[in-house]
Chains A and B, each alone.
Chain A
Amino acid sequence: DTAVSQTPKYLVTQMGNDKSIKCEQNLGHDTMYWYKQDSKKFLKIMFSYNNKELIINETVPNRFSPKSPDKAHLNLHINSLELGDSAVYFCASSLATGELFFGEGSRLTVL
């Protein structure tokens, strides 16, 4: 029983394409997140949703659009992919005042 699951785990695509990463959590948490880990392993928050409402939106290009159909799902759609978007994207969830539980990551490679 995977607590936070992301699909796909690997994604290889061409510049200019549009792609989506899906995330689901079965922990009953109210809050979900997307983090980006770059090639130097630096982790930075991108977005956070609480009960389907956007609560954190860091300075991320508007080519990135998160969508939360319900509090157990948070998907990330990326338009017009660029080389610099290559990274590992982590989904996470938490209670409002708790620690984050992370998925295994989705490695995106833009060629």
Chain B
Amino acid sequence: AQSVTQPDIHITVSEGASLELRCNYSYGATPYLFWYVQSPGQGLQLLLKYFSGDTLVQGIKGFEAEFKRSQSSFNLRKPSVHWSDAAEYFCAVGAFTGGGNKLTFGTGTQLKVEL
């Protein structure tokens, strides 16, 4: 069964500083990996996804993530954080089954941005 670990429950960074959120996955085959962001009281918005190909993927809002098979990781990065990036971030691994994509989520990392 697939699983996702996000080791950092909370992270605080200063506005303008760089950011890296960690994600490790467990999956028996080629993983399909996702990062979603959830602002307070909102639904989840897709930041980026990895299906195959280039291991460095670009997403919306200036985010990128790198798939490292040897480390079973898919860490999210941003070179310069904005105050509006404060939110909950979820990493997920997908399994395509029977016509659907069963996403297994990590427990999330709450990002706070200090002005």
Contacts and interface: CB of A to CB of B under 8 A. Distances in A.
27 contacts: A4-B43, A31-B99, A31-B101, A33-B100, A41-B38, A41-B108, A42-B108, A44-B105, A45-B102, A48-B100, A50-B98, A55-B97, A55-B99, A56-B98, A56-B102, A90-B43, A96-B99, A97-B101, A98-B101, A99-B94, A100-B46, A100-B101, A101-B46, A102-B45, A103-B43, A104-B42, A105-B42
Chain B: number of interface residues, binned into ranges: 20 to 34
Interface of A: 4, 30-31, 33, 40-45, 48, 50-51, 53, 55-56, 90, 94, 96-105
A54 B8 CA distance: 35
Contacts, number: 66
B44 interface: yes
A99 B97 contact: no
Contacts of A102: 36, 43-45
Contacts of A41: 38, 88, 107-108
B96 A96 contact: yes
Contacts of B38: 41
A31 B43 contact: no
B25 interface: no
A21 B105 CA distance: 23
